[in-house]
Every structure is written in structure tokens, then in C-alpha cells.
Structure 1
Amino acid sequence: MKTPKVAIVHDSLTQHGGGEKVVEAILDIFPDAPVYTSVYNPATMGESFKSRAKKIITGTIGLNSTFGKFPILTKYFTFLLPLAFENFDLSEYDIIISSSSSYAKGVITRPDQLHIGYIHTPPRFLYGYSVESTKRNAWYYKPVVMLVDHYLKVWDYLAAQRADFLVANSQNVQKRIKKFYRRDSTVIHPPVETDFADRVYAKDSMQQPYYIAIGRFSDYKNFDLIIQAFNLLGIPLKIIGTGVEEAKLRKMAKSNIEFVGRVSDEEKHRLWHNSLGYIFAGEDEDFGIVLVESLSHGIPVLAHRSGGPREIIREGKDGMFFDSLNLESFVEKLKEFDQKVRGKKFDTEGSKKHAQKFSKEVFKKAFEKFVMERWGEKQKPTLLPLNDA
């Protein structure tokens, strides 16, 4: 069997988040694979990505192209993004791996090529899930948004049928794929850095024990709920992150809450490692990489009982769930969580071991096996039934 030539397709390369770390791990498996994308901003991608990606192609239609230099087109580019991916020429490759939460899965391939689509989620903005930007909700955009979204939903469904096989990043996303695309998929959880427990971190200078919350300050992450609860209880909280809601959240917070802002990964994990517990109030999260990172530190988690966290947190061992986003109900759960944390009721060492199930090495082994088995099946000759005539 010949060594297949592989290409990777990813929605966009403008932030170094969970989706981009999936691409990094795939590049570890297929180091010579070029990465096709709609837009690439090297300044935001980090050295770990840039050292792996030997060739990045944005094509003739994309925000990095001449086409993308027209302000009117870039402002309303969402409607045109499917064209960027449909116009990529992938004819020289044997295996195409798309990494997608929006349009990358829509690339065009031939029947003799193998296309595997890794789905982080169907586009959240198309199917009623909360997203970071609230601009689409403005009344003056509504008529246009409704028309564009109708077109994009039709395209998105058809695009999801193009891959030979779909891989979901969680059971939660697997259910969305079945509901919106009417397709089966295989769950392979995304890669997570889980070696934090082996590192040595300086003790925090703050004498008073604190909890920690991390993420982008957007509405659906429910940082306002966390802040209101900690205001009432007076328990110290450190918040790491930035975002559109920051000014509003800072006004809400009392003196027991500290906004740390954006910090280096090393400082983030030092603060995390020295915290009492991690508070996560996001609703219907696709997976929840940050929860695995917390467990790898041996830090228990209080999370909303929805979406991906239900696949990660073993209730009573790794932390607790809360069911209601009502402030009074959440405060009671936070009190209970705090008592159990201080009483050392959670299995710290067990959480560290549990986190290893989601490690980068586990992902790479499972994903490579899946891809190469599908490729092997593709190479087998198709036996046609004999005609009795």
C-alpha cells in the first residue's frame, strides 16, 4: 500500500484555541501535510503551531487574498466563505482531513480520495446555540441574517454529506451531527495538554485560598452569574481572560474578586495549580478542554450539567454539577462545593489519572488508527456481483 499524500483543511487560523490544537496534533501525525484555510494571522497562532505548519495555503478566495482586501466583501464575508473552501484544488492528495466548526468540511473531493471530517460542532450560530458575538441579534440585521442563514443552513447540510466519514469531538457533538446532518459519526475527544501535574509551580503569594474562573467574557459563558454568587458569599475569586463583557463584569465585582486579565500559559497554570477549585458556568459547551486541564492539576470543578462537561466530570470524584442558572440555586451549590473542597472530599489523584484519558497522545493514537484503517478500506478492490445472465 502506497504512503498516502495528506492535506489538512481548517476553518480559519486567527486564534490559538482548541480547534487549532487539534490541527497541531494532526500535524504531529502527518508532518508534511499542508494546511488550507480561509484566513491566516501568524501573530495570533503561537510558536507551537508555526513550528509544525510547514505550508499554509489561503487560496484565491480568502481574507488573505486580493479578493479579501475589499472592505465591503470582508465585512460581509460569512455569506461568501463557502466559496473559499469549494475553490481549493485538492486534486493532488489522497487523504483530506477537514477540521471544522463551520465551513472547512465543504471542500470538494473526488470519489477516489478519502475525506475525513473532524467536527468540533455544527455552526453554533446557525442552529440556535449561543455564540460570542451579539451583533447578529441587532434588529436592523435581522432580515438579512434570516435570508443568509437560510442559504447557509442548506449549504451546511449539503457540505456535511461530502466527507466519507465524520468524527465528532464529543458525544454531545455526535448528537448534534445526527440531528442536523442525519449522519453517524465516531467520537474521538480532542487532544488536551495533561502533563501539568508533573510540573513544578511556585506557590501563590496570596495567603487567602481562592477559586478560579477562566475564559472569554461573552454572554453564554455566564460569568455574571459566577460574579454575583461570589459577591454574595465573599469568597476570593480570580478571573483570567478578556472579552466583550469585561467592562460590565468589572463594574459588578466586589473587592473579593480579582480580574487577572490575559496572562501567559505558565502564569495561568501556576494560578490554576494553586487554586481551591475551578468554576465553569458555560451552558451546552461543545466539549470542555479547560475542564480536563483543571483535572490534570488535581483541581476539582463545579460545572453546569449540560453538554460536554457531562462526559468529563465524574460527579463526586472530580467535582460537582449544578442544574439551574438561577442565582439562588447556584449559590447553594457553590456553598456545597466549597464545603467539599475544604473538606477534601474529591479524589485529587484519581482526577489526574482520569485526565490522561483525554491526553494528546491518546488522541493521536486513536485518530491515526481511524484514518489509516479507513484508508486501508479505501484501497481494497470493490467486488461487483456476478451477473447470472
Structure 2
Amino acid sequence: MQLKYALVHEWLTPKATGGSELVVQEILQHIDADPYALIDFESTNPESYLFKRQIGTTFLQYFPGARGGVQKYLPLLPLAIEQIDLRPYDVILSSSHAVAKGVLTGPHQLHICYCHTPMRYAWDLTFDYLRSSALGRGVLGWVTRWLLHYLRQWDVLSANRVDYFIANSQNTARRIWRYYRRPATVIYPPVHTERFPFQAQKQDFYLTVSRLVSYKKTSLIVRAFNQSGRSLVVIGSGPELQELRKIAKPNIQILGWQPDAVVAKYMAEAKAFVYAAHEDFGIAPVEAQACGTPVIAYGAGGALETVRDVRQYSDTATGVLFSTQSEVALIEAVEYFETHAQAFNPEVVRSHALTFDAKAFARQYLSFVEHCCQEFRSSNPSEVLAFRPKLP
């Protein structure tokens, strides 16, 4: 019997081009699934792989300012995702970092969720969100706290609608277990390593590439290099762009947004790639390693799985990890890198990145989906509930 697939993601917009969207794109290359999202502005984008594709959406599609992001309608996201009618489908594939996993399904439907992260602003970033936003203060702050409390309850409830969880890292798998008490199989997201040219000869500058938002800690990197005086190039756009340009000293170039070819060129030429965010996985450091470029990263989250610290892997090192998100720790890590630069073999660095290639993702993801389909169709409900992949 030919199974009918649906793929559900949170939002599809030209501004949403991160790791979760790469997963969606890769899945659609291998599985003939009908896409759904809260909002869609990609099917009308001539430069998108989804151009002219039929995509199911919700009532949020027609709300003012939806194209710029539906996060402003946060209280309505759970309600909206539950309005997507998926009754015609046999298998539901969700790509979730907020509410996509909360779609309603029937007992005859298999739901496999690729979880990029549990809803971060409802869980581990709650207090950061409350401190950094005007919504966290005064009477409005108590309304916001109640809303986040409600979102946590809904988030746990909706996790029970998933038959099988996939996590994008061991770090995310641990968080899924912490918040939902559900095991998850780890399949690393696809990194298109072929788009990043290998270059053994490096130039005398450091590089960071990211969205310029607070949790990426780009301002920390800029302040650290202001003190060290070493050459740094910053690529990316976001609300912090103008502030970074104000505080950056002459040794730092703030280039703003750049096309993919320019990003790849800088990644290939950089002495090292600097990353200070606490990410669930973090694709950019792997892309840099695909160029043979070592990484200096904050030693938490996904970086612990993608970067091999020279102090632990003397022969197969791919970078240096620093233990705290502070200027002092980053400066010390850069100086350590400078004194141990000869320990890094660009070919070894690239070889490590290839283990995260898109082909590896496709092979593992398709194999897991096939396993789940066989398990679900051959078992009664109690046996399906009893199935547990190994915990990380």
C-alpha cells in the first residue's frame, strides 16, 4: 500500500533560513510529502525551493505582520496548529522547534517528530526572556508568566501526540527527556559540506557568522576582540547590527548580510571560526570545519558533539572549547589557539565535518522512518507504546 505523507513545520518565510528549514528541504527531497505550516510566504518566493508548491496554512496567514514572523501571536500558536486537518494522511512528519509537533492526529496515523528543540522560551530561556523584554516587567510581566505557564502545559500535553521522537543532538535528546519524559533517537541535521570549499592555507583573521540576536552572543565576541586587538570579521544581520557597528574597533569588520558564496569564501580563508552561542546543534561551526577551518566555541550544547577540543583530541582536534560565556574565557581560548595552531590539520578538520554530511542525514532519517512505519503497522497500540529507542 502506498502511504500518504504530510510534513508539518512552524513557519516558511524568506527570513527563516536556519537549520530547521534545511531539514525540511532535505526531507522533501527524499519523501513525497504535502507540506503544512502556520504561515507560508515561500511558495510565492521565486528563489525558494518551495516556489509554486501547494502548502497548507492556518488563519495566522492572514494576520497583520505575519510575514515578519508569527511569534508576535505566540498565545495563538497552539490553537492555530491544531486547526490543520491531516485526516487524509497515513504518516505525519513534523519538524518542530515550537508547536509543529502539536498537530492533531488519529489512532490510525503515525506521527514522527524531528525535534530541533523543545520550545526554548517556555523552558530553559524563560528567565532570560523575562529579563530582556519589557513584557517581563510590571503587570504585563505577570500576564507573560501566566502565558508561559500555559505554553509549558500545552507543550507537555502535545508531546504525547508524537509516536516517535528524533532529536538533532544528544543535547536536545536530554532536554526532550527532561521536559517530556520521552526518549529520542539522535539523527544529526544535514550539513551541505559540498557547498564549502576546502582550503588549507588560511589568512590572518578570525570569523563569526550568525543571526545578530542576543542569544547568539555576537556582542560578547566583538567586545572580546576589541580587547585582544586581533582581526575579526562578522557576517550576519539582525537587530544587533547597528549596535555592533557602534562598539566595534577598527580591527573588526562588520559586513552585515552576505550571499552564500561570500560566506563560504570567508569561512575557507579564516584562521578560525568563533562561536559563543549555546546551541542545540549549531550548523555554522560544522560548515566552517568543512572548509578545514578550526572552531573556537563555547563548550556547551551541540558544540560538545561537533567540535573536538585539542586538549582532549591531540591527533584529531578540530577546535578549542571555552567553558563560560565571558570575554575573559574567549580571549584565553583565542590565545590558546594561537599558541597551538600547528596542532590543527585542515584535512582532519574537514574529514570530521563530513560525518555530518546531508547524505548521512538522508540515510539515517529514511531508515528510521521505514523502521517506525513497520513497527507501527505490525504492532497493536500497547506494543507501539512499549517500543523505546535507546536513551543517549
* Same fold? TM cut 0.5: yes
Write the distance in 2 (CA, Å) between the matches of 1:45 and 1:384. Answer: 45
In 1, are the aligned partners of 2:130 and 2:137 still within 8 Å (CA)? no
Q: In the alignment, what sits opposite 1:179?
A: 178
Q: Does 1:219 align with 2:218?
A: no
The structure-2 alpha-carbon separation of the partners of 1:18 and 1:383, relative to structure 1 and needing over 3 Å to count, comes to closer
Write the distance in 2 (CA, Å) between the matches of 1:43 and 1:56. Answer: 7
Q: Which runs of 5+ in 1 are unaligned?
A: none
Kindly provide the amino acid, as one letter, of the partner of residue 97 in structure 1: L
Say which SS state the counterpart of residue 47 (structure 1) adopts: coil
Say which SS state the counterpart of residue 11 (structure 2) adopts: coil
Say which SS state the counterpart of residue 49 (structure 2) adopts: helix
Q: In the alignment, what sits opposite 2:112?
A: 116
Q: Does 1:302 align with 2:302?
A: no
Kindly provide the amino acid, as one letter, of the partner of residue 338 in structure 1: E
The number of aligned residues is 369
Kindly provide the amino acid, as one letter, of the partner of residue 279 in structure 2: E
Instruction: Choose 39-48 or 179-188, whichever is displaced more.
Output: 39-48
In 2, are the aligned partners of 1:132 and 1:218 still within 8 Å (CA)? no
Kindly provide the amino acid, as one letter, of the partner of residue 304 in structure 1: Y
Q: In the alignment, what sits opposite 1:149?
A: 148
Say which SS state the counterpart of residue 151 (structure 2) adopts: helix
Rg (Cα) greater in structure: 1
The structure-2 alpha-carbon separation of the partners of 1:8 and 1:75, relative to structure 1 and needing over 3 Å to count, comes to closer
In 1, are the aligned partners of 2:168 and 2:189 still within 8 Å (CA)? yes
Kindly provide the amino acid, as one letter, of the partner of residue 286 in structure 2: V
Q: In the alignment, what sits opposite 1:281?
A: 276
Q: Which runs of 4+ in 1 moved over 6 A?
A: 43-46
Write the distance in 1 (CA, Å) between the matches of 2:192 and 2:326. Answer: 33
Instruction: Choose 226-235 or 178-187, whichever is displaced more.
Output: 226-235
The structure-2 alpha-carbon separation of the partners of 1:244 and 1:237, relative to structure 1 and needing over 3 Å to count, comes to same
Q: In the alignment, what sits opposite 1:250?
A: 245
Q: Pairwise mapping of residues 16-165 of structure 1 onto structure 2 (< 5 A)?
A: 16-30=17-31, 32-42=32-42, 47-50=47-50, 54-59=53-58, 61=59, 63-65=60-62, 68-69=63-64, 77-129=73-125, 134-135=132-133, 137-140=135-138, 141-165=140-164
Offset from partner CA, 1:277-303 (integer Å, 9 cap, x none) = 101011x21101111101100000000
In 1, are the aligned partners of 2:244 and 2:254 still within 8 Å (CA)? no
The structure-2 alpha-carbon separation of the partners of 1:75 and 1:300, relative to structure 1 and needing over 3 Å to count, comes to closer
Q: What is the CA distance between 1:135 and its match in structure 2?
A: 3.4
Q: In the alignment, what sits opposite 1:166?
A: 165
Q: In the alignment, what sits opposite 1:190?
A: 189
Q: What is the CA distance between 1:40 and its match in structure 2?
A: 1.2
Kindly provide the amino acid, as one letter, of the partner of residue 204 in structure 2: P
Q: Which runs of 5+ in 2 are unaligned?
A: 311-316, 384-392
In 2, are the aligned partners of 1:9 and 1:37 still within 8 Å (CA)? yes
Identity percentage of aligned residues: 36
Kindly provide the amino acid, as one letter, of the partner of residue 175 in structure 1: R
Write the distance in 2 (CA, Å) between the matches of 1:117 and 1:46. Answer: 29
Offset from partner CA, 1:123-163 (integer Å, 9 cap, x none) = 11001325699436541431211111111111110001101
C-alpha RMSD of the superposition: 2.7
Instruction: Choose 303-312 or 79-88, whichever is displaced more.
Output: 79-88
In 2, are the aligned partners of 1:9 and 1:35 still within 8 Å (CA)? yes
Q: What is the CA distance between 1:224 and its match in structure 2?
A: 2.2
Write the distance in 2 (CA, Å) between the matches of 1:179 and 1:382. Answer: 28
Q: What is the CA distance between 1:3 and its match in structure 2?
A: 2.0
Q: What is the CA distance between 1:199 and its match in structure 2?
A: 6.9
Q: What is the CA distance between 1:350 and its match in structure 2?
A: 1.2
Kindly provide the amino acid, as one letter, of the partner of residue 25 in structure 1: E
In 2, are the aligned partners of 1:16 and 1:45 still within 8 Å (CA)? no
Q: What is the CA distance between 1:195 and its match in structure 2?
A: 1.2
Kindly provide the amino acid, as one letter, of the partner of residue 373 in structure 2: W
In 1, are the aligned partners of 2:110 and 2:373 still within 8 Å (CA)? yes
Q: In the alignment, what sits opposite 2:374?
A: 376
Write the distance in 2 (CA, Å) between the matches of 1:315 and 1:381. Answer: 44
Say which SS state the counterpart of residue 222 (structure 2) adopts: helix
Offset from partner CA, 1:228-261 (integer Å, 9 cap, x none) = 2212221111100122122222222110100111
Instruction: Choose 12-21 or 243-252, whichever is displaced more.
Output: 243-252
Query: TM-score scaled by structure 2?
Result: 0.87
Q: In the alignment, what sits opposite 1:340?
A: 340
In 2, are the aligned partners of 1:82 and 1:106 still within 8 Å (CA)? yes
In 1, are the aligned partners of 2:296 and 2:319 still within 8 Å (CA)? yes
In 1, are the aligned partners of 2:115 and 2:167 still within 8 Å (CA)? yes
In 2, are the aligned partners of 1:136 and 1:145 still within 8 Å (CA)? no
Q: In the alignment, what sits opposite 2:255?
A: 260
